[in-house]
Amino acid sequence: MSQASRLALDTESNSLYAYSERVCLIQLSTDQADFLIDPLSFERADLEFLGRACADPSVEKVLHAAEYDIMVLRRDLGFQFAGVFDTMIAARILGWANFGLAALLSEHFNVKMNKTHQRANWGLRPLSPALTQYAQLDVHFLLPLRDILKAELVSRGCAEEARELFDEVCQAHWKGGVFDPEGFWSINGARNLPPIGLAVLKELYQYREQQGRLHNLPVFKIMSEATLVELAAARPRSRDELVHLRVLSESQLRRYGSDTLACVQRGLKAKPPHPAHRQNGIDELTAKRFEALHAWRKETAARRGVSSEIIVSKDALWELALAAPRTVAQLEPLQFIGPWRRKVYGDEILKTLASVDNGNAALNS
C-alpha cells in the first residue's frame, strides 16, 4: 500500500440484515493487484494503514458513488478523505445516461455483473466464491474506468468542476442512526390519513423501531411503510379483523399481531399529532427563493444535458434561499457553493434571488 500512488476502493455492508449496519468488507485495487479485507476480523488499529492512505491527498482514491462508502468508513473506522475521484459523479458531469457501475463495466469492458449479489448478507462468514468474485469486480476495473473518464473530463473542459464535486464528497458524514419519532409524517400516504389514523400510525411507527432495535433487524423487515399506512387506515380492533386485512404474513401475525392491536388501541385513545412543527420555521419569502432557485437549477441542467444535482445540491439551494446573498462576495462564505460554481453560476444565482426579493418588495410597497 505504501508504494501505491492510487487505489480503487469499495465497501459492502449488512444494511439489509441488521438494525445497526456496519462495514463488512473492504475491496481495494491497485495497478498491480486486488485485495479483499475483512474488517470483522481486525481491530480498528490494524486498519490505520488504510486510513492514512485515504487521508493522503497524494494518493488518489477511486470510488463509484463515493458518498456512501466515505460516510460508513468515517462512521465505523474514523477515516478521513482527500484526493478522491468518483467515477459516478464524473459520468454524470459528462451527461452519460448510464452511470451505474454495472452499465459502465458492461459498456467499456464487456463485463457482466450479477446484481442479485448486491442484496447479499455480507456479514455472514465464510463468503461464497461467487460473492468474493463479485466484490473483486466492484473495484478491479475502477482504475482503467477512471482513466477513460478523466480523459473525457479534460477534453471537454470539465476537470475543474469535477474536482470541486470530488472535494465536496470527501466531507460526507453519516446522516443515519438517529431515530426521528416524528418521521412518520414523511411516509408516503401518511398525510391522506384522518387525524385518528395519524395517531395510530405514530404508535405503529415507534413500535416498529423498537422491534428493529430489539431484534437487530432493519425496520422494513419488521413491517413495510405501506403496511403501517394500511393498518393505520383500517385500525383493526380484533385479531379476526387483523387477519381479514391480509396485510401481515403468518409469521408477522405470530410475532407482532397482539402488539399491533395494542398499538391501534393506544392510537385510538391518543391525541392526534399536529404537523405544525414540521415546517422548520421556513418563511414565505425563503420558500419563494427556494422555488425560484429550484426552477433555475432545472433549466440549467436541461441546457447542459446533466442531472440537476450536478449543478448544485438541494442543500445549496436551501443555503442560498436562507442567506439571500446580494453580491459575489457574499457567496464566498457559503458552505455548499464552491469557487467553480461561484465563477460559473454566481451571476445567475444572484439575479434569480434578486428577482424574487425585488418582486416581494414591490408587492409590499
Q: What does the pLDDT read at residue 365?
A: 67
Length of the chain: 365
The CATH class of the 6-169 domain is alpha beta
CATH architecture of the region 183-269: Orthogonal Bundle (1.10)
The answer for residues whose C-beta is within 8 angstroms of residue 220's C-beta and 6 or more apart is none
Q: What is the pLDDT along the chain (365 residues), one digit of tens a residue?
A: 778 999 999 999 999 999 999 999 999 999 999 999 999 999 999 999 999 999 999 999 999 999 999 999 999 999 999 999 999 999 999 999 999 999 999 999 999 998 889 899 999 999 999 999 999 999 999 999 999 999 999 999 999 999 999 999 999 999 877 899 999 999 999 999 999 999 999 999 999 999 999 999 999 999 999 999 999 999 999 999 999 999 999 999 999 999 999 999 999 999 999 874 444 557 899 999 999 999 999 999 999 999 999 999 999 999 999 999 999 999 999 999 999 999 999 999 999 999 999 998 877 76
Q: What does the pLDDT read at residue 87?
A: 98
Q: What does the pLDDT read at residue 363?
A: 79
Distances (CA, A) of 10 to 134, 307, 333: 12, 24, 33
Which pairs with CB-CB distance under 8 Å and at least 24 residues apart come from 247-254? 248/223, 252/223
Supply the pTM of this predicted model. Answer: 0.89
Domains 183-269 and 280-364 in one fold:
yes
- CA-nearest of 120, 121, 118, 135 to 216 is 121
E-only strand ranges, the chain: 6-13, 23-29, 34-37, 60-63, 84-86
Q: In this structure, which topology does domain 280-364 adopt according to CATH?
A: DNA polymerase; domain 1 (1.10.150)
User: In which residue are the cell numbers 423487515 written?
Assistant: 221
Give the span between the Cα atoms of 202 and 182, in whole angstroms.
8
What does the domain layout of the chain look like in residue ranges?
Answer: 6-169, 183-269, 280-364
All 3 cell numbers of residue 29? Answer: 485495487
- CA-nearest of 106, 120, 142 to 27 is 142
- CA-nearest of 346, 205, 178, 314 to 270 is 205
Single-letter code of the amino acid located at 362: A
Q: What does the pLDDT read at residue 190?
A: 95
Give the span between the Cα atoms of 116 and 251, in whole angstroms.
25
Q: What does the pLDDT read at residue 278?
A: 43
Sign of CA dihedral 25, 97, 164, 87: positive
Residue 237 phi, psi dihedral angles, 5° rounding: -100, -15
